[in-house]
Amino acid sequence: MPLPELHASDGHSISLSKKSNTKNTSKSIPLFNFPISGDRLIRLLFRITGVLIVIHLINLALGGPSWQIERLFCLGEEANVPTWFSSALWAFTAFASYCCSILVESKKARTLWICITLGFLAFSIDEVAMIHENLFEVMSRFFPDGVRSHILVHFKATNWPVIAAPFLILTVTWLILTFKRLLSGSKTAQKLLILGFAVTIFGGWGLELTTNFLNHDNLQWVWEIESVFEESLEMIGAIIILSGLLRHLNWLSVQVDQCTDQPESRTSAKREIQCQA
């Protein structure tokens, strides 16, 4: 099976290949060759995000003179350029996560990485299909009348963040415990992923919740600012997560190279300890 060849944050090539028991006998056929390093890719994604934000702000400042620009670049709209860009960001993170699953030796670790990959793919699909809004809207209909009349009634603009809160807490707890184990040797990647998820959750869940308390009649400009921050933080959070995954991918590649270069005379137990990921 052909496997991808990446360029890590330090510019070195990461060749993802199935390892052989014989030194220097494993081969990899590049599937994707990225012409830029991980750091340059992250900077490019940040610049694209900045351009999308600037276009939105200019259109907003001019009062939306063009409905074509409004439709294509409004951060608060769906099925437009920012939406598809956000979907692509999560697709990139899913691919990076899958690459991590290739390089780990432990079956349990590989399974965890595959689960995380599927989660990122779900985020990518959800950006376009708006699954979470529709799903939690259906779920709200099965809530007890007391909950709907005393709690959900106060969240008229959007109530999915309230319904999703228990699931969010469980998911975040699982992610923290999982990444603490998977990234035990890559502290920088740990910090980047924690920061990325914090930014994403604050933007996509926290700020979304505040829309219920904003006055759209007299303080529309506040709502517009909130919308810009919400969508911007979601994209920025995804890029930070991708940066952490690329750094961990680089770390895993170094570990694989070190294990491959070990003399055969070393004990298998010592190799297992040093090569564990």
Question: What is the pLDDT tens value at each position of the chain, 277 positions in all?
Answer: 444 445 544 544 455 554 434 333 333 333 344 555 688 899 999 999 999 999 999 988 888 788 888 889 988 788 899 999 999 999 999 999 999 999 888 899 999 999 999 999 999 998 887 776 666 666 666 666 555 555 555 566 666 677 777 888 898 899 888 998 899 888 899 999 999 999 999 988 888 777 766 655 666 667 778 888 988 999 999 999 999 999 999 998 888 777 765 554 344 433 443 444 4
Q: pLDDT value at position 212?
A: 65
Q: From residue 230, how far is each of 129, 193, 203 by CA, in Å?
A: 18, 19, 4
Extents of the domains making up the chain = 31-275
d(CA 170, CA 86): 24
Look at residue 150 in the predicted model and tell me its pLDDT: 56
| Joined tokens for residue 265 | 């005379």
Q: Are strands 30-33 and 13-15 parallel, antiparallel or unpaired?
A: unpaired
Provide the token pair at 127.
Answer: 């950006």
What's at 163, amino acid-wise?
A: I
Specify the pLDDT at position 274. Answer: 42
**What is the Cα–Cα distance from 162 to 123, expressed in whole angstroms?**
19
82, 68 contact by CB (below 8 A): no
| Interatomic CA distance for residues 240 and 245, integer angstroms | 9
What pLDDT, on the 0 to 100 scale, is given for residue 161? Answer: 73
Which structure tokens are listed for 171?
Answer: 């998911």
Q: In terms of pTM, does the model score above 0.95?
A: no
